[in-house]
Amino acid sequence: MKIVDKHGLLADLAGNDNIVLELGCGSRKRHSEAIGIDARDLPGVDIVGDALSVLRELPAESVSTVHSYHFFEHVNDFAAYMVEMNRVMKKSGQLHITTPHFSNPYYYSDCTHRTPFGLYSLSYFCDSNLFRRRVPVYHPGLRFDLVSVDLIFKASPPFYLRWGVKKVFQFLFNSSSYMKELYEESFCYLIPCYEVRYELVKL
């Protein structure tokens, strides 16, 4: 897929020491200071193209922050993105990822969803001590520290009463790492979770 740099931003990145990216931003970019990247040419998009290909155009250790909201569940090779983000991000750079939780009742009704995410998904890509359950690290060369993982409970409009009830569950299950693990092992299909939110720092 051809990359279309709508505002000539790629040429100016060399002298910028505070590059912020929003991957898969769609028509509503949530961070005005970010460079919006999406495969579709929408109003909020600054660079049109495959996000992985765009990342490969960026200089090493040039990006300070990466945001993504409901994007990575659509990709086939999430590991390739992690490798590339590890290359382009600066030391102490921040990575913020929000995806649907695998128990989200709407996850599997979207045929464009490719990769499910849960509590431990990012632990496979960095050395993390957040949880008692240990998982293997498949890419030990990646230099990310998993700072936090939060379970986000929501209800779709017009179910506002359910929204309030689910926020009580959010408070309860996010109260400790033990409660998060207990939730995903024993309660995730009884009380579905809407999103999972990850915060990582480049070491």
Domain extents for the chain?
4-202
Average pLDDT over residues 103-107: 93
| Residue among 155, 68, 165 at smallest CA distance from 117 | 68
Position 178 confidence tier, pLDDT thresholds 50, 70, 90: very high
What's the confidence (pLDDT) of residue 38?
97
Q: By the 8 A CB rule, do 19 and 13 touch?
A: yes
The pTM of this model reads: 0.94
pLDDT for residue 157 is more than 80: no
Position 32 confidence tier, pLDDT thresholds 50, 70, 90: very high
Q: Which residue do the tokens 């028509």 mark?
A: 27
CA distance 51 to 14: 19
Which tops the pLDDT comparison, 174 or 163?
Answer: 174
Position 199 confidence tier, pLDDT thresholds 50, 70, 90: very high
Q: What is the CATH number of domain 4-202?
A: 3.40.50.150
| Residue among 106, 130, 137 at smallest CA distance from 179 | 130
pLDDT for residue 92 is more than 80: yes
pLDDT for residue 167 is more than 80: yes
Q: Which tokens in the block code for residue 43?
A: 């109003």
